[in-house]
Amino acid sequence: MMKTIAYIRASTMTQDVKNQRHEILEFAHREEMQIDAFIEVTSSSRQSSRQRRIEELQEQLKPGDRLFVTELSRLGRSTGEVILLINQLVAYGVAVFIIKQKLRLGEDSQDITSKIMVTFLALFAEIERDFISIRTKEALATRKAQGVTLGKPKGTIQSSMYDKDKERIQELLLLGIPQTRIVAAHLGYGTPKSLSYYIRTRGLRKKTGKS
């Protein structure tokens, strides 16, 4: 059975949550659609997708479902992240309604307008990445020309999101649990590649295969 989920992400201001909810309810009323569930998050954009309940949102949405959100920026921390999520949802068969931008993406799988919009948004995301890359390289070149030493001191190990589960990861490795399963079934965040890097840099031991 098709369902409609509304996603709200706001700062700590209660009024912002109320405003988004009101805008979504008004839109649903105009379109004669019923909202089955709200996912509300009070957080900053710096938090992980798990903390922003994006993964929970993706798990709840099924092919044929609809997602309401007041504006594009609510779905991610950058244009690229937003477009990636929208492309994944539309490809999965979810219709995404962006109220402020008046976008209806994936509502009709044969709708050429939706396909064009998704393509343009993806292009904008790529352009944004290029601009960020150029600005970063220019800034680094300027600092280097000024004699500033770039990068962290040799031997420095940067903190990781896996640090809080280090002991648990070590236990699972000694039990012979594959890294892909550790990420998917036990941690619920991260990627096998980043976990592999963490294991290597922290010197965590794996099961040797000896009885």
Minimal CA–CA distance to 95: which of 140, 62, 59? 62
Phi, psi (deg, nearest 5) at residue 95? -90, 125
In the prediction, which pLDDT does 211 show?
41
- pLDDT averaged over every residue in the chain: 82
In the prediction, which pLDDT does 126 show?
66
Q: Distance of CA 67 to CAs 139, 152, 172, 173, Å?
A: 39, 42, 37, 38
Placement of tokens 């939706």 in the chain? 114
In the prediction, which pLDDT does 189 show?
85
pTM over 0.75? The answer is: no
- Rounded to 10 deg, the angle between the 112-145 and 79-92 helix axes is 150
> Predicted confidence band at 23 (pLDDT cuts at 50, 70, 90)?
very high
Instruction: Establish how many alpha carbons lie within 13 A of residue 161's alpha carbon, considering only the half-sphere containing its beta carbon.
Output: 13
List pLDDT tens digits, range 175-204. 888 998 898 888 888 898 999 999 999 889
Contact 11, 21 (CB under 8 A): no
Segments making up each domain of the chain, as ranges: 4-123, 153-211
* Residue 136 or 152, more confident: 136
Q: How many CB atoms lie within 10 A of CB 115?
A: 15
Report whether pLDDT(97) > 90.
yes
Let me know if domain 4-123 sits in CATH 3.40.50.1460.
no
Average pLDDT over residues 8-24: 84
